[in-house]
Amino acid sequence: MTRSDEEPHGSEMRALEAASLRRARLGVWEYEGGGLGPEDPPAEVAFGGVRILTWPGVVMTPSPTTEALVDRAVECIGTRSVFVADVGTGSGAVAVAIASRAPGARIWATDDSEAAVGLARANVARHGLQERVEVLLGNLLEPVPGELDLVVANLPYHAEARSRGPAAGACREEPEHAIYAPGDGLGFNRELIEACRTRLEARGNLVIQLYGSVLSARHGELDQLLREIEARAAEGWEARMAATAEGREHRWSAWHSSSV
């Protein structure tokens, strides 16, 4: 595992940031078919102790509530040298925040949107993390090599047919592909769970965040997904769940293979 021992400073950092902005602008403009021009400025938000470039309407704007996902991932990593996948990376916020706090992490960040991949790569370069964070185009874990110690994901969870009204009202500035999932809305998470059965190292961790108003609207369906996770205990999986509250209820689940 390699990592950079030096971070860019001064004029080098300014040049790197300017180059990152150009790549991000051109990448988003190209892959979105001209919906955003190269001259359109990105937004910048604070997330998990870092500053992230984002484009509303192209990728999901990083939310402070998702910092709980980063906190749990960093807790799982500790001081170890580990291989990590950030699935559905969007702007790359989670991958960049984890890498900034866990120097032993080698991270692959994936997304099936070419626009998101372009923006995430710009954010990685902006923070000088190219040697430890690689952004890959593809579905879930498909482009990631080898076995992993940790998988993190904050995937779409709204059922398209039933949730367009409420979801659009709550997230009207966010891109639809980052909100809606096919079927009952939990298909991406189920697919990821299946992939982790063969991709996680023994005692590897999978951390998924499920949060927001969807809890009250679809509490039963989310409970069913968590029960499916718990049912894996017979296959050597141990489920762990917790809830946090900051004016809203959030729920995430983490579990690991208990095999040696």
pLDDT of residue 31: 42
pLDDT of residue 113: 87
Return phi, psi of residue 218, to 5°: -135, 40
Write 215-218 long-range contacts (CB < 8 A, 24+). Answer: 215/249, 215/250, 215/251, 216/249, 217/163, 217/166, 218/159, 218/163, 218/185
Q: In 3-state terms, what secondary structure has residue 173?
A: coil
Q: Tens of pLDDT along 105-147?
A: 999 999 998 888 888 988 998 899 999 999 999 999 999 999 9
> Is the torsion defined by CA of 74, 255, 131, 27 positive or negative?
negative
Has residue 74 got a pLDDT over 90? yes
Q: Tens of pLDDT along 4-51?
A: 444 455 565 556 555 555 555 555 544 444 444 445 567 889 999 999
Q: Are 159 and 183 in contact (CB under 8 A)?
A: yes
pLDDT of residue 155: 87
Q: Average pLDDT in the 199-205 region?
A: 81
List CB contacts of 139: < 8 A, sequence separation 6 or more. 110, 112
Type of residue numbered 117: V
Distance CA 132, CA 234 (A): 35
Q: Tens of pLDDT along 147-192?
A: 999 999 988 866 665 444 544 444 556 666 667 767 666 778 888 8
DSSP H or E segment with residue 19:
helix 10-31
Write 29-38 long-range contacts (CB < 8 A, 24+). Answer: 30/118, 31/113, 31/114, 31/115, 31/118, 32/58, 32/115
pLDDT of residue 147: 92
Instruction: Return the CATH number of the domain spanning residue range 10-257.
Output: 3.40.50.150
Higher pLDDT, 137 or 204: 137
Six-digit token string for 94: 């989670």
Q: pLDDT grade, residue 199 (50/70/90)? A: confident
pLDDT of residue 251: 42
pLDDT of residue 226: 60
CA–centroid distance for 170 within its chain: 20
- Report the DSSP pairing between strands 237-245 and 249-257: antiparallel
Dihedral (C-alpha) 22, 18, 55, 88: value to the nearest 10 degrees? Answer: 90
Has residue 94 got a pLDDT over 70? yes
Q: pLDDT grade, residue 83 (50/70/90)? A: very high
Has residue 88 got a pLDDT over 50? yes
Has residue 89 got a pLDDT over 90? yes
Domain boundaries of the chain, sorted by first residue: 10-257
pLDDT of residue 228: 66
pLDDT of residue 207: 86
CB atoms within 10 A of CB 146: 8
